[in-house]
Amino acid sequence: MTTLDITLQATTQLEDAHTSGAYYKRQITLVRGEGCTVWDDAGNAYLDVTSGQGVALLGHAHPAVAEAVAQQARTLITCPEIFYNDRRAELYAVLADITPADLNRFFLCNSGAEAMEGALKVARLLTSRSGIVAAKRSFHGRTLGALGMTWNKDYREPFVGWTPNNITHIAYNNIEEAQAAITEDTAAVIVEPVQGEGGVYPGDVEWLQALRHICDERGALLVMDEIQTGLGRTGRWFGFEYADIVPDMLALGKGIAGGVPMGAVVWRESLGTIDSGTHGSTFGGNPLSCAAAIAALTALRDIDAPALAAENGAWLLSELQAANFAQVREVRGRGLMLGLELRGRVTPALQALQERGILALPAGKTVLRLLPPLIISRAELQRVVDALRDILN
């Protein structure tokens, strides 16, 4: 047995011996990444159109993010929010420059799911109401509060009784159901502007505008889950901008810090602040993550990432729709967030792509999801199209 064989065996055996079991493992061990490419421990290269579950908006090992992390790690890694910090203050300013209108109150945390938990608490604190309206097919995370809003019963049913019980799920893009469900007891209406895990379904402009109107009419907060759609992914800084509305609150995560764990709850300054001690996070807003986020957001702005996603996403959507794949019912999405609804299970297509050196994601049992880094080149996208032509025809 070679040294390489021993290394390969040791990695998989160690993980299998100690893993929680919560994750289905693909049988490759990734050890390095640069740009849109990752490498396994056997030296094989893969085009990553998963962006590490939508995280690597700037690709892997972006120089500006790596340098910011290294420099900050030598300076100050941790500083809780009971003290002021220069990196945190700078990040607030960068975020406030990107978010529209008066969306400039921020609670920093460590993930998208934690941001959704924070959004639930902030909505309760700001409104003194308890009802939540979410959408069918939604995915907001796996922590207990976020799980209550997540539609997939496979995720929720093992925890029935532990998740919030005052959540109403309505059909996505259905104005009549929204009218009936949103009442004077509703604290917040929480939706994704494009559903991700639920199958890559864009929200209708008219529906999002109707949600804004109904929430205004009944005093509920409109909360946009922009964890996957935000920061340029859909061709705008935020997915809700397609509807020409401004929500009351946002949840951000995934690529906000260039791959370093971070999330954020964002709400309108006009809504006020929450009382001291009503929420907290030990690592939230730590200088290391803030430095990474400053570098990542600055780089996204410098390259006009939303414009790149809009242009390349429109080209990719057109190419995929024109291909008229024999095994595809529909191609849909916005920007560089696309889904191919297959006529059968998605797993064989994902496996066939991986064999051709391309990593992609599912979105349910029959949807193949493409979430490439926003820096992906046209040539790399063409490689994806060519591989899909080969596989899906």
Q: Specify whether 238 is located in the same domain as 271.
A: yes
Largest Cα–Cα distance of the chain, in whole Å? 70
Q: Identify residue 241 by its one-letter amino acid code.
A: E
Whole-model pTM: value is 0.95
186 and 297 together in one domain: yes
Structural domain for 90, as ranges: 63-302
**44: helix, coil or strand?**
coil
Report if residue 248 sits inside a domain. Answer: yes
Tens of pLDDT along 169-187? 999 999 999 999 999 999 9
Residue 17, H or E segment: helix 3-18
**Residue pair 380/36 in contact by the 8 Å Cβ criterion:** yes
Q: Are residues 348 and 267 in the same domain?
A: no
Q: Kindly state whether residue 14 falls inside one of the protein's structural domains.
A: no
Beta bridge partners of 133: 168, 189
Instruction: Give the DSSP letter string of 315-330.
Output: HHHHHHHHH--TTEEE
Residue 226 within a domain? yes
Neighbours of 121 (CB within 10 A): 16
> pLDDT per residue over 263-303, tens digit each?
999 999 999 999 999 999 999 999 999 999 999 999 999 99
For residues 234 and 351, state if they share a domain.
Answer: no
CATH number, domain of 204, equals: 3.40.640.10
* Whether residue 3 has pLDDT greater than 80: no
Answer whether residue 9 shows pLDDT above 80: no
42 and 80: one domain? Answer: no
Q: Cα dist. 348→141, 320, 334, 367 in Å?
A: 26, 19, 25, 12
Q: Which candidate, 361, 252, 375, 259, places its Cα nearest to that of 309?
A: 375
Can you give the pLDDT at residue 305? 98
Q: Among 239, 270, 302, where does a domain finish?
A: 302
> Same domain, yes or no, for 224 and 282?
yes
- Among residues 252, 270, 302, the one where a domain terminates is 302
Record the tokens describing residue 351, joined without a space.
């496996």
What CA–CA distance (Å, rounded) separates 32 from 12? Answer: 16
CATH number at residue 345: 3.90.1150.10
State yes or no: pLDDT of 1 exceeds 70. Answer: no
Q: Is residue 56 part of a domain?
A: no
SS (H, E, C) 127-152: HCCCEEEEECCCCCCCCHHHHHHCCC
C-beta atoms surrounding 353 within 10 Å: 21
Domain boundary among 253, 287, 302: 302
Is 228 a domain residue? Answer: yes
Let me know whether 297 and 358 are in one domain.
no
**Percent of the chain scored above 70 by pLDDT?**
98
pLDDT-based confidence at residue 196 (cuts at 50, 70, 90) = very high
Provide the 10 A C-beta neighbour count for residue 148: 23
DSSP string of 300-367?
Answer: HHHTTHHHHHHHHHHHHHHHHHHH--TTEEEEEEETTEEEEEESS-SHHHHHHHHHTTEE-EESSSSE
Q: Could you tell me if residue 3 is inside a domain?
A: no
Same domain, 201 and 277: yes
The total of structural domains in the chain comes to 2
User: What confidence tens digit (pLDDT) does each residue in 382-393 have?
Assistant: 999 999 999 998
Question: Alpha-carbon distance 242 to 309, whole Å?
Answer: 14
34 and 70 both lie in a single domain:
no
Q: Is the dihedral of CA 230, 278, 222, 338 positive or negative?
A: positive
Q: In angstroms, what CA-CA distances link 196 with 106, 225, 300, 354, 362? A: 24, 10, 21, 21, 10
pLDDT tier, 213 (very low <50, low <70, confident <90, very high otherwise)? very high
Same-domain check for residues 26 and 98 = no
Tally of CA atoms within 13 A in the half-sphere of 312 that contains its CB: 25
Give the helix/strand (H/E) hosting 52. Answer: helix 51-54
Write down the mean pLDDT value for the chain.
96
Same-domain check for residues 118 and 221:
yes
87 found inside a domain: yes
Question: Looking at the domain assignment, is residue 1 inside a domain?
Answer: no
**Beta bridge partner(s), residue 341:** 330, 367
